Amino acid sequence: MGTGVNGGAETKNVGLRGVTVADTRVSHVDPEAGRLIYRGYDIGVLAERSTYEEVAYLLIEGSLPTTAELAAFTVELGERRILPADLVTLLRACPRSMAPVDVLQSVVPAMVAHDPRPRDPSKEAERERAVDLTAKVASMVAAGHRIRMGFDPIPSDPSLGHAADFLRMLHDATPDPRLARELDIALILHADHSMNASTFTARTVTSTRATIYAAVAAAIGALSGELHGGANARVMEMLEEIGDLDQVEPYVRARLESGGRIMGMGHAVYRTDDPRAVILRKMSRRAGSTADEPHWFDLTERVEEVTRSVFRERRRREIYPNVDLYSASLYRVMGVPRDLFTPVFAVARVAGWSAHVIEERFAEAQEKPELYRPQSEYVGHYCGPESCEYEPPEERE
């Protein structure tokens, strides 16, 4: 277990669960009430009334924009979505067998070559880098997918909204405005979530005074794991394996009886409904109807129903869907391939990561050292209680 000293007393915690490591003004999760707040604004209100551009501005700049500020930011984001030729060359150089999220993590650090002052310590310079990352990650994901499919990337159209342009670059077709709006809302819902694994990773890297590109690349690496951003891809894999509605109950029961888990159900923080899942459930239903493909929503809803029923029956407790359960079926009807689910998560979350990087670098005084440096407890070595004695290789028989 991890060890540390707090007021003279030793404390231990596994995985830092429940340990407060920093102050933040970026976002807040209320696990008991099932609320998610971005800089004071409830996620439900933002999903209903805002746009991703406005939310990205809120996260990065710290307040909602005026009409003029939003217009200028939208133009800037659109212009910055255009990829330099050498970044496209790097995307082409990646083997087509690479997972798209690994391609993204590999290419993001190369953005430093286009920054004339990558270590300029000013807040304004960091803010420009944050906007550039928020814009270009979307283009990288779309371009990388086109290249691996054997097609040329589709240039960005700065006149379109961020979500609509992403779908256009991905599919080389003007998206249905209704589906573009659903993706816009999904990006809002995924834009930040307090001190999760990838955000903590980004802040830890930032605390070393590394560049924002290094921090975001590291965050993408953390996001790629199936217990974090890779979870919605696992949900889709599960739905494809189940196939039909009449197979849901036997699948869920067999899975739980064998000690397995149902991906998309349960959350490490929330003790009630994940507010994002509540919204995504409605979105998945709407999108399935818009695309005339309701099967994936129906299957997902049945998985939720059966899983909750089994938990009440056998474990005498409630379990709730998390953000991944319904986002899988939503992305599917938008034509997003399963292995792009995690990169699309990054398209949304890059604004949140950037906001945390800026906060970590320019935060008001906090009751913590500048550099993150937790401790661990050494629990021994294989050669017994005494120190190991070095022997030459030829004597290790």
* Assigned domain for 6 exists: no
Instruction: Say yes or no: 222 and 243 in one domain.
Output: no
Instruction: Say yes or no: 184 and 38 in one domain.
Output: yes
Residue 9 has pLDDT above 50, yes or no: no
Instruction: Say yes or no: 223 and 235 in one domain.
Output: no
CA angle centred on 96, ends 92 and 98, rounded to 5°: 110
* Tokens read off for 11: 């404390």
* Assigned domain for 301 exists: yes
Domain span at residue 257?
231-333
pLDDT band at 302 (very low <50, low <70, confident <90, very high): very high
List strand residue ranges (DSSP E) for the chain, in order.
Answer: 2-6, 9-13, 27-30, 35-38, 41-42
- Residues 146, 154 contacting (CB under 8 angstroms): yes
Kindly report the CATH number assigned to the domain that includes residue 251: 1.10.230.10
Instruction: Say yes or no: 308 and 348 in one domain.
Output: no
Kindly report the CATH number assigned to the domain that includes residue 102: 1.10.580.10
Instruction: Say yes or no: 122 and 151 in one domain.
Output: yes
Q: What percent of the chain has pLDDT over 70?
A: 95
Which residue, 334, 269, 266, 349, is CA-closest to 303? 266
Query: Any idea which residues carry the catalytic annotation?
Result: 228, 267, 324
Our count of domains for the chain comes to 2
Q: Mutual orientation of helices 275-290 and 177-190 as an angle, nearest 10°?
A: 160
Residue 334 has pLDDT above 50, yes or no: yes
* Tokens read off for 331: 């992305």
Instruction: Say yes or no: 107 and 245 in one domain.
Output: no
* Tokens read off for 73: 């930011």
* Assigned domain for 115 exists: yes
Instruction: Say yes or no: 222 and 244 in one domain.
Output: no
* Assigned domain for 300 exists: yes
Which residue, 140, 6, 162, 11, is CA-closest to 84? 140
Number of alpha helices (DSSP H) and beta strands (DSSP E) in the chain: 16, 5
Instruction: Say yes or no: 252 and 219 in one domain.
Output: no
User: Which neighbouring-strand residues pair with 38?
Assistant: 27, 41
Condensed to tens digits (0 to 9), the pLDDT of residues 200-247 reads: 999 999 999 999 999 999 999 999 998 888 899 999 999 999 999 999
Instruction: Say yes or no: 239 and 192 in one domain.
Output: no
- Residues 350, 134 contacting (CB under 8 angstroms): yes
- Residues 207, 370 contacting (CB under 8 angstroms): yes
**Residue 115 — φ and ψ, nearest 5°?**
-100, 110
